[in-house]
Each structure stands twice: as structure tokens, then as C-alpha cells.
Amino acid sequence: EPEVTQTPSHQVTQMGQEVILRCVPISNHLYFYWYRQILGQKVEFLVSFYNNEISEKSEIFDDQFSVERPDGSNFTLKIRSTKLEDSAMYFCASKGTSVDNEQFFGPGTRLTVL
Amino acid sequence: DQQVKQNSPSLSVQEGRISILNCDYTNSMFDYFLWYKKYPAEGPTFLISISSIKDKNEDGRFTVFLNKSAKHLSLHIVPSQPGDSAVYFCAASARNAGNMLTFGGGTRLMVKP
């Protein structure tokens, strides 16, 4: 069964460093998303991406964040200068078409900022 | 942001009995609702969904009920099995908001053998 994959599973970084989280969405999907879950809190929407551009973003998704689909298969989230409060689980999700509503999630990347 | 709320952080039921997980929402623009199941160290797994034009959707042991006037939905699992033990998230989306999902805080279900 097709699935969303994410790498790495755990990333540890120093405050102020740049990190890139990688996702491979389900191959025929067109819509891509990043969410995060800080420990003990809700899963929160960060950004949605369609047709090579951002379609929606939350107030969390400030100038420190960027997304890219560099090669038609990977979907990446870059955090330019990490802060302690960026420590969270980051989930990538994808969905097939505009008619579909179900989003399928990857296993997540645990980001720890020291 | 309390647009989607799950008021019960945990629920314990006996194997074979019914589990009922509840979810309330405040945003009347939501037009699609989903339930996800999550195990530790894994991503949310899609379970079942319902459009706002329906009041019930069933898939095997899982049934979701939607009460639009009360802005309330529930997930029924019957019969409950020990493998159902996980955290269940209710999520809502609005087509005019790019289908981003707004999640509730989750309910931890424990099914005892």
C-alpha cells in the first residue's frame, strides 16, 4: 500500500542552525502539507502546497520556514534558524485531488533543538 | 485556538463493548470531518470521515455520527478490541480554506481485555 515517508526520523540540532526535513508523498498525490505537534499539544497546521506554490499557511509559518518540491518526488520543510520552541514532531501529509478530503500522514520527524 | 475540541482526554472500555469518542467544533464553515488514530512514534492514520451533508457514515466496526445543529460528532467503535487502544484525533476542514485540517486535542482510548 502506498505511504508517505519522512526522513530523518529524529533530528537533533543546535539553536540557530538550519534544518531540512524531507518527505516523499504518495506518488500520484497533488496536494502536500506540513503539520507539527509540540509535546503535549495539538497537531497544528503549518502550510499547504499545490502546483509548486504555497496555497495556505498558518501564522506559525513565518519567514524562518520555507517549503520546496525540488525534484517532483521530495517535499521539504526548511527551518532557517532553529529556535528552542521549534522542537516538535513534524508530520508531512498528502492528498490526491481537490475532490479528496482525506490526508495521509507520514510517520513524522522528531526535531530536537538544543 | 479551540475550534475543535475533544473534551475527554481519556476513555477506558472493556473489550467487546462500545467505545464512543466525542468531538465538538465551533466553526460553522467546516464541511468535512475526519477521525485519525495515532500510535506512539507514528503519524496519524486515517480512519473514517464524513461530509457535512451526511449525518452518519459507517465502515465496519467504525461509525461516525454528525449533528450539525449541535456542532458535534462522535465516533463509535463496536465491538472494541485491545488493538484499538490508541489516541484518536478528530479533525475538521473547510473547502474554502484549502482543506487544511484543524485537529482536536485527542482522546486516549484504552480497551481492556
Identify which has the larger pLDDT, B2 or B39. Answer: B39
Closest-CA distance, B107 to chain A, in angstroms, reads 11
User: A103 touching B, CB under 8 A?
Assistant: yes
What's the rounded mean pLDDT across residues B22-44? 93
Residue A99: what pLDDT? 74
Residue B20: what pLDDT? 98
Identify which has the larger pLDDT, B95 or B58. Answer: B58
**Partner-chain residue, chosen from A4, A6, A43, that has the shortest CB–CB distance to B89:** A43
A55, with CB counted inside 10 A (0-12, 13-18, 19+), is middle
Closest-CA distance, A56 to chain B, in angstroms, reads 6
Residue A72: what pLDDT? 79
Evaluate whether A105 touches A91 at the Cβ level (below 8 Å). Answer: yes
The answer to whether residue A76 scores a pLDDT higher than 90 is yes
How far apart are alpha carbons B77 and B7 in whole angstroms? 18
* 3-state DSSP of chain B: CCCEECCCCEEEEECCCCEEEEEEECCCCCCEEEEEEECCCCCCEEEEEEECCCCEEEECCEEEEEECCCCEEEEEECCCCHHHCEEEEEEEECHHHCCCCEECCCEEEEEEC
Those of residues 48-87 in A touching chain B at CB distance below 8 A are 48, 55-56, 58
Asked if the Cβ–Cβ distance from A107 to B97 is below 8 Å, we say no
Work out the pLDDT band at A95, boundaries 50, 70, 90: very high
Work out the pLDDT band at B1, boundaries 50, 70, 90: low
What's the rounded mean pLDDT across residues A74-98? 94
Model pLDDT for residues B41-81, shown as the tens digit of each residue:
889 999 999 999 999 999 999 999 999 999 999 999 999 99
What does the buried/exposed string (b/e) look like for B78-95 if buried means 16 or more CB atoms within 10 Å of the residue's CB?
eebeeebbbbbbbbbbbe
Model pLDDT for residues A28-73, shown as the tens digit of each residue:
899 999 999 999 899 999 999 998 999 999 999 999 999 999 887 8
- Mean residue pLDDT of chain B comes to 94
Beta bridge partners of B67: B72
